[in-house]
A = this chain, B = another copy of it.
Amino acid sequence: MPVTQPDETPFRSVAVIGPGLLGGSVALAIRDLLPSCELRLWARRESSLELARELQITPKLYSDLGAAVSGAELIILATPIGAFEDLTRRMLPQLSPQSLVTDLGSVKAYVHRTTGAFLAERGRDFIGSHPMAGSEKQGLEHASTALLAGATCALCNDHQVSEEKMQRLERFWQAIGMKSYRMEPINHDRSVARISHIPHVLAALCARTADMGGVPKEDLRRLAAGGFRDTTRVSSGPAHMWSDILWENDVAIRDTLNYCIEDLHKLIELLEQGDRAGTEQWLAQGKASRECIRKGKR
């Protein structure tokens, strides 16, 4: 078994398929932190390749998918999840059993059930990745190595790819600044529903509710301050991307939303009953849950 030295790149060649905010950040991090790695970039649109050229991310830019992945040791699907099926079908003839395919999608059960299963059935290796990094600003023009620095990258190996490849993929994410963390796809999807997708929904709900009417809009504008700004921040992300994410993580999302509704009913009841101690306890539990989950974080 070839042993990778600590100062070597875990993969000699990596193809990033779809340089948006996250794919672009991964590409920039490879360029800056793994200079010995052959970095390839494929984009559907000529304008994206143009921008990648301007940003001097890599000289190896491809509009031909087969050429981009042929001989690459690691292929990173960085497009929206909805494009994975078409892309993996088209790249299949150029994938060798030695190569490894991963992705950056924000749900993992669905991706393993579709893309992962499709590749595994054809003897190709797939391990799901999910870097917990993002921004409400989208696109390659906002990509940066800093976006990934210190972030956790979840890894799901539902198709039992070899431990050797799993470790190489872990070392790869670590080499470009992230902490790797192995998870079951179902736990991943439930966790991201609670920690990322529902926060997005509640941020949007918060903004929608503020706008429900009954007061002059100018009054809202004048009073909006830091609390409104932060609680709603993530809702300014792209609606089409988040609608896909909610759709792909449908079951976990609906379970969690039903919990939210029950919990709001509980609070309304406490207020109706004039139960001040209960209301305080409801809020205190929120504070405690936040602190417990964010323990040790900035």
A binding-site residues for B, Cβ under 8 Å: 132-134, 151-152, 154, 179, 181, 183, 187-188, 190-192, 194-196, 198-212, 214-217, 219-237, 239-240, 242-244, 246-247, 250, 253-261, 263-265, 267-268, 271-272, 274, 276, 279-287, 289-297
Contact = CB atoms under 8 A, between A and B. Distances in A.
Closest 8 CB pairs of A and B: A204-B286, A211-B289, A243-B280, A239-B284, A207-B290, A199-B231, A239-B283, A194-B210
A276 B247 contact: yes
Contacts of A257: 264, 267-268
**Residue picked from A220, A267, A290, A296, most chain B C-beta under 10 Å:** A290
So how many copies of this chain end up in the complex?
2
A235 B289 CA distance: 10
Given A209-B259, A211-B285, 13 more contacts: A183-B219, A194-B209, A201-B264, A202-B203, A202-B231, A208-B286, A212-B259, A214-B255, A217-B293, A224-B297, A228-B294, A239-B287, A254-B271
A103 B289 CA distance: 33
B211 A292 contact: yes
A251 to B, nearest CB: 10
B205 A286 contact: yes
Given A205-B202, A223-B154, A282-B204, A228 B187 contact: no
A202 B234 CA distance: 14
A12 B12 CA distance: 75
A247 B279 CA distance: 9
Given A246-B271, A293-B207, A293-B217, A192 B223 contact: yes
Given A207-B289, A209-B194, A210-B293, A232 B279 contact: no
A264 B231 contact: no
A131 to B, nearest CB: 9
Interface centre among A234, A257, A264, A287 (most CB of B within 10 A): A287
B235 A287 contact: yes
A158 B255 CA distance: 46
Nearest to A283: B239
A98 to B, nearest CB: 30
B195 A228 contact: yes
Contacts of A207: 286-287, 289-290, 293
Contact of A233 (B187, B194, B217, B230): B230
